[in-house]
Amino acid sequence: MKQLATITVIGRDRTGVIARITSFLFEAGANIEAMEEQVTRGQFSMVLQASWKSSQWQPGVMKSGLKRLGEDLGMEIRLRAAEPKGLQRAALFVTREPHCLAALLPAFKSGVLKAKPVVVVGNHADLRPLAEKAGVPFRHIPWLDRLRGEDAALKALEEYEVDFIVLARFMKILSPNFVWRYKNKIINIHPSLLPSFPGPMPYRQAYERGVKTAGVTAHFVTMHLDEGPIIAQDSFTIRPSMTLPQIVAAGQKLESKVLVKGVRLFLQKRLDVHWGVVKEV
């Protein structure tokens, strides 16, 4: 049995960062299983997957050692450990629309989604009763200022030891600084058949363009808006007599279904992202 962990590194680019971190992990008995890094406008970002033999895993030593290394490098280094036999811990981000959250919570409770929702984060408090009725803590984080909102959200994710995030109609754009910390671990539902109609009003665009088939897309969130790797899609026919509210209602019913399917595929470890494309394995 081995212990798995994800390490994220973010800070101003400087020479020798990768060597310092990989050397530290090697000396701590880690096996580096995957690593991806990039530099954008002078900012260095890295996500690293590592594993340890259970006998060599010392979480307290690892966290304190990485903290000291981060201070020495002038970078933020975080470690998220996964329990080999435990359920993954999910955070559900919402705004005001209840339909996706109302589908996800029973799916988790029934075991259709084999993970544990540990917190619902809302930039409005409208869905607090729905979360608390299901026994899931609700954290209201105003998002008038994105920097402050994301900082508070990241602190909540660390507090609840979150492994992955589901955007259940969360109507805010996440910055690259946030997204990189949970690379391929943020799942969103978009109300169109991407790549068609990205952005905030896809149903209206479909209605005004007179399209005959509309749909929804579950996808991983990347640093490019509504362009992340596609996990699952489904569609519905727009009849000539349908009004915009009727199109929205049909789409919302499908959003819930496809989002649950996308999360289920993610949890079954059947997805592999290669060159920006999701493949079932």
Which among 13, 163, 226, 272 is annotated as catalytic? 226
Q: Output the six-digit token pair for 166.
A: 């589901």
Could you tell me if residue 134 is left (phi over 0), alpha (psi between -120 and 50 degrees) or otherwise beta?
alpha
Check: CB of residue 11 under 8 Å from CB of residue 21.
no
Query: What letter represents residue 131's amino acid?
Result: A
Alpha-carbon distance of 186 to 172, in angstroms, equals: 13
Alpha-carbon distance of 269 to 229, in angstroms, equals: 15
Burial class (CB in 10 A: 0-12, 13-18, 19+), 275: exposed
Q: Output the six-digit token pair for 69.
A: 């290394």
Nearest 10 degrees: Cα torsion 149, 147, 166, 96: 50
Question: 163 catalytic, yes or no?
Answer: no
DSSP 3-state assignment of 120?
A: strand
Active site residues: 226
